[in-house]
């Protein structure tokens, strides 16, 4: 996911009401990319604008909404990106919209960093741990809460179109531990509908600027996914690599390199290679506003 920095903030207050906040941020890309097709290398540019809205009730509940407007996707067309509405309190957090289901919420992806064409996540062996998210109309309702080092989530995507697969349900559990010189993050996810179910596990450890993530997912239909990701940061330079085997699609690997120029500008390079003999590459600038 692109990193977005707050560029503009507006505070609105009226008598007897808590202050509301509206923030605007943006992200842009420019460079060259090769999607592995017959056209070869092409120019690439992309532009995103994100609105974040938040407020607070008189009794301390916080609420908000976000929408990511992808004005120029790959230089062509206009699309609306992720959008969701949420409310939080001592009871936890309730989110509805284009948001992660409990399975995805609990699992850590093996990909790290960003490339302008997402080449490091485009290979056949990669999975973003989406589970059954989007199997109906894409409107996910998720409840989540944290208790110290533990986090739990439950999600539901309604089958409002009469699909044979039925409603999609998800459960997720997280555990984070501080081991002194290292940190450990565990994620366990389960998701099901009327036609399939999946169980996933992710393990992440961080130490001395190094991140290691391992994923495994298995479904009752015999589809499995296994992946590992490595990341390293030193000063302004960050490097990452991931490899995955997806029994449904094949295997592949991806690499990414980011160099921060400061002020929200980053030089980005990405490469992906699949067992289907498709290689992709991109090089350019990512600009956060």
In angstroms, the CA 221 to CA 237 distance is 42
- Cβ count within 10 A of residue 68: 21
Q: Strands 150-157, 140-147: parallel, antiparallel or unpaired by DSSP?
A: antiparallel
pLDDT at 19: 63
174-186: per-residue pLDDT in tens? 999 999 899 999 9
| pLDDT tier, 13 (very low <50, low <70, confident <90, very high otherwise) | very low
- Cβ count within 10 A of residue 281: 18
In angstroms, the CA 32 to CA 44 distance is 5
Mean pLDDT of the chain: 89
Alpha helices in the chain (DSSP H): 102-106
In angstroms, the CA 15 to CA 271 distance is 55
Q: In the structure, how many helices (H) and strands (E) does the chain have?
A: 1, 17
26-57: per-residue pLDDT in tens? 999 999 999 887 778 999 999 999 999 999 99
Domains in the chain, CATH or no CATH each: 29-44+100-288 (2.40.160.10)
**pLDDT, mean of residues 79-88:** 80
């Amino acid at each position: 996911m692109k990193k977005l920095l707050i560029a503009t903030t507006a505070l609105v207050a009226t008598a007897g009401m808590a202050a509301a906040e509206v923030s605007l941020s943006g992200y842009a890309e420019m460079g060259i990319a090769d999607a592995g097709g017959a056209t070869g290398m092409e120019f690439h540019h992309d532009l995103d604008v994100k609105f974040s809205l938040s407020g607070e009730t008189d009794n301390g509940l916080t609420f908000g909404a976000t929408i990511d407007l992808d004005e120029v996707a790959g230089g062509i067309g206009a699309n609306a990106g992720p959008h969701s509405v949420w409310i939080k309190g001592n009871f936890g957090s309730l989110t509805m919209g284009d948001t992660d289901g409990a399975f995805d919420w609990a699992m850590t992806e093996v990909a790290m960093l960003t490339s302008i064409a997402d080449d490091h996540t485009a290979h056949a062996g990669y999975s973003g741990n989406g589970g059954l998210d989007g199997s109906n109309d894409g409107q996910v309702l998720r409840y989540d809460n944290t208790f110290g080092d533990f986090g739990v989530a439950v999600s539901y995507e309604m089958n409002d179109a009469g699909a044979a697969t039925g409603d999609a349900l998800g459960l997720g559990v997280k555990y984070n531990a501080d081991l002194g010189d290292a940190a450990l993050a565990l994620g366990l996810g389960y998701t099901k509908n009327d036609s399939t179910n999946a169980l996933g596990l992710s393990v992440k450890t961080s130490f001395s600027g190094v991140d290691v993530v391992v994923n495994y997912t298995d479904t009752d239909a015999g589809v499995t996914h296994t992946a590992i990701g490595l990341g390293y940061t030193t000063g302004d330079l960050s490097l990452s690599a991931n490899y995955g085997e997806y029994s449904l699609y094949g295997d592949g690997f991806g690499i990414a390199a980011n160099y921060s120029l400061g002020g929200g500008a980053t030089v980005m390079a990405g490469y992906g290679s699949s067992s289907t003999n498709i290689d992709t590459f991109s090089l350019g600038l990512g600009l956060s506003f």
